[in-house]
Chain A
């Protein structure tokens, strides 16, 4: 008899590679040690995982590599508390635990045939990266794809190794911006919502996906409304303190919605239906 599935038990995984993205963001590329489980693993863009450093604890991060690229699962970790501080000390060869996939995913099916605008700020680029790369790998399924990615400074920009490819591709339109002028910066300077208004993507047949710090989200939503986006055309992700990740432990709810299972992906229309407790 095989044991019933234990949703609390992480898969032991090995870190293949790490990338120090910024002074406080580190990326981990991991594979389950159990090859059969790794090969069988599937997930949808937007789903998250609990990354464990047993002895310290676990925290929730989006799987920011797309399901179309399964050499490894990638997590980008911003150092904030005890678990993330511990994760930052780990390097290639070290063991971690992974519980995934958890949560819902981006409504990819609804996005097919539509134009897409990604608006990412800081570490908020991580969940967008999954969907962005997934779309690049299925390029023909989507219309015009635009990415607006901003950070405080060039040094705060994660995924910098990939930026030349993203800005160089002709089948997408990538705009990078930083808050203030910096030496050698070749791209835009300005706050994300302002740059977005300048870009002025047409709302017609378009979906905007935005993720970033709360203040950026607030003004980005305002900008998108100004550009004529309906609430249903705006998609974002939420963060909450989580423990179980499977809708039981009781802390991540906003009214009846449990962010760990019903989220983290919500349309702005859905968010407006929830009680005001972000």
Chain B
């Protein structure tokens, strides 16, 4: 691994401008009370302190993207019908600058699904390969943070390419992937050896602030054992209003819908974020719905993250512990509480 570098806070715009000259740079900025990732604009100061309201999921997995365009036509003397399909899989080189580790880690959960052997997803792969994550380790944690429950932490570099750690006067900068190493070549970055110990202390302090994580190792079996206990799921889901805030703000939620949007003889096939909490998600054309109530749907959401996915993917929990689903839920549904309730109930 490359040596630790350092950048003083006031030099950050210099580095960001240099990066923005080469690619799209997304940074967290304040917008109407929320913090969202937007293209870097020197006139808008990025917000690096607290975690963004919405994670940088859209950088790689846009809320809506075109899979291909279609156009019907006629050709030849007999006016034979034609249909032309034109896919667009290219992605724009992008730097996501200043996401918290949980925001970047989310893509590890995507990778196993979208970069599978049988059907690798060309749209995702193009965007993933074109994106670099310059992540900011957390100097503070919040009540909703639980990254340490799911094998991560406030300085987790998994999924990131460069890791910044806030220290007195600026940030230490470490390359944590090969891709990231190429990004440290900027005169604003100086040797950071003198700051390395301080950075490690910051990382340790925020990890310590999270305290001890409960043992949820049995969650895959526990959740499965409660599959038919609909009274349990009714109690867990009573207050849920079945909106999609938890899923759309989740760095690991990767489900989508495909719809055709067009007029007349031409248009586009789009894929857009979809939410398993919506009634329509599994509604069949016959009118049958295998997940007809919010209890069924919440069961699937929690089950997918803490049981099915880890069962299929070497124990990896499909949750990065960012806590957005708790914090942004209009009624404070708390997935931590549900998982713990399930683990406790299954123990009997």
Contacts and interface: CB of A to CB of B under 8 A. Distances in A.
B80 interface: yes
A54 B267 contact: yes
A264 to B, nearest CB: 13
A256 B312 contact: yes
Contacts of B255: 249-251
B276 interface: yes
A1 interface: no
Interface in A144-184: none
The number of chain B residues touching the other chain, given as a range, is: 35 or more
B184 interface: no
B278 to A, nearest CB: 10
A136 interface: no
Contacts of B285: 59, 80-84, 241
Interface stretch (B168-176, B194-202, B303-311, B330-338): B303-311
Contact of A6 (B83, B89, B258, B283): B89
Interface residues of A, number: 47
A9 B257 contact: no
B276 A9 contact: no
B62 interface: no
A254 B121 CA distance: 22
Given A249-B255, A250-B255, A9 B85 contact: yes
A6 B88 CA distance: 10
Contacts of A9: 67-68, 85, 87
A256 B308 contact: yes
Interface stretch (B2-10, B28-36, B112-120, B339-347): B112-120
Contacts of A4: 89, 120, 122, 125
Interface of B: 67-68, 70, 72, 80-85, 87, 89, 113-114, 116, 118-123, 125, 224, 227-228, 254-260, 262, 265, 267, 269, 271, 274, 276, 281-286, 288, 290-291, 296, 300, 303-304, 307-308, 311-312
The 8 closest A-B pairs by CB, nearest first: A81-B285, A250-B255, A95-B83, A80-B285, A54-B70, A246-B119, A275-B227, A256-B308
